[in-house]
């Protein structure tokens, strides 16, 4: 059974938004946070969709259930709560929301950095990346966020997996189609 919320984090360029969209195709996910203003398309496909939380973005990273849930217009279903900055707050997220899940996406720093630039970099309209200031600031943030993700995963004895249809089915109880699996992207979930 899915929880009320799954806190999803991955660094910019980790392709975590594609993972998010795949998960949100599973029955039981609440996608009422999607609006035209919360959509960014690149390379002829939707790259970002739905609410993102973080500094300088529409919604802040607040560990307040009512504030978080306000991003969705419908009350039922699992909300996928996306933020790069959850990486810095993972123990706090786990403590504040013990009944909810945390999902981590890991992709190496330089591969993520390169893909983020290819996907639009600072020209991305949603979400806003102005808080990262410049490319050097973005790379520093990617490095630090990945470090936090790996440290938290290690502290919880995580088992990493590739994002495959088999993993999704065993973790979420539903079959999905995944067009391409990336060998440098790993995922784990804490329930």
10-residue block means of pLDDT along the chain (191 residues)? 97 95 96 90 73 93 98 97 98 98 98 94 88 96 98 98 98 94 97 97
> What is residue 14's predicted lDDT score, i.e. its pLDDT?
97
Q: How many helices (H) and strands (E) does the chain have?
A: 6, 6
What's residue 40's pLDDT?
A: 72
- What token pair was written down for 71? 């991003």
Query: Domain map of the chain by residue range?
Result: 5-190
- Do 48 and 18 contact (CB within 8 A), yes or no? no
Angle between the N-to-C axes of helices 135-155 and 109-118, in degrees from 0 to 180, rounded to the nearest 10:
130
Half-sphere exposure of 189 (CA within 13 A, CB side): 20
Distance from the Cα of residue 4 to its chain's centroid: 16
Global pTM value = 0.95
Which pLDDT belongs to residue 179?
Answer: 85
Return the pLDDT at 47: 75
Q: Which residue has the tokens 């993520």?
A: 112
CB 82 within 8 A of CB 52: yes
Output the pLDDT for position 41: 77
In angstroms and rounded to an integer, the radius of gyration of the C-alpha atoms of the chain is 15
Which one-letter DSSP state was computed for residue 179? S
Rounded distance between C-alpha atoms, residue 39 and residue 43, angstroms: 14
């Amino acid at each position: 059974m899915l929880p009320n919320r799954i806190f999803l984090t991955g660094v910019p360029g980790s392709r975590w938004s594609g993972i998010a969209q795949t998960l949100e195709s599973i029955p039981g996910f609440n996608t009422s946070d999607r609006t035209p203003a919360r959509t960014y398309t690149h390379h002829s496909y939707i790259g970002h969709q739905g609410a993102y939380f973080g500094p300088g973005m529409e919604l802040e990273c607040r560990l307040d259930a009512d504030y978080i849930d306000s991003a969705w217009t419908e009350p039922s279903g699992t909300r996928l709560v996306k933020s790069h900055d959850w990486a810095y707050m993972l123990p706090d997220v786990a403590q504040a929301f013990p009944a909810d899940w945390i999902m981590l996406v890991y992709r190496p720093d330089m591969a993520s950095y390169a893909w983020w630039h290819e996907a639009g970099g600072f020209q991305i309209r949603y979400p806003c990346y102005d808080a990262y200031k410049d490319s050097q600031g973005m790379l520093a943030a990617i490095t630090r966020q990945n470090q936090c993700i790996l440290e938290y995963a290690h502290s919880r004895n995580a088992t990493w997996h590739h994002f495959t249809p088999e993993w999704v089915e065993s973790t979420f109880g539903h079959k999905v189609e995944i067009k391409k699996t990336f060998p440098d992207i790993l995922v784990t979930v804490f329930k």
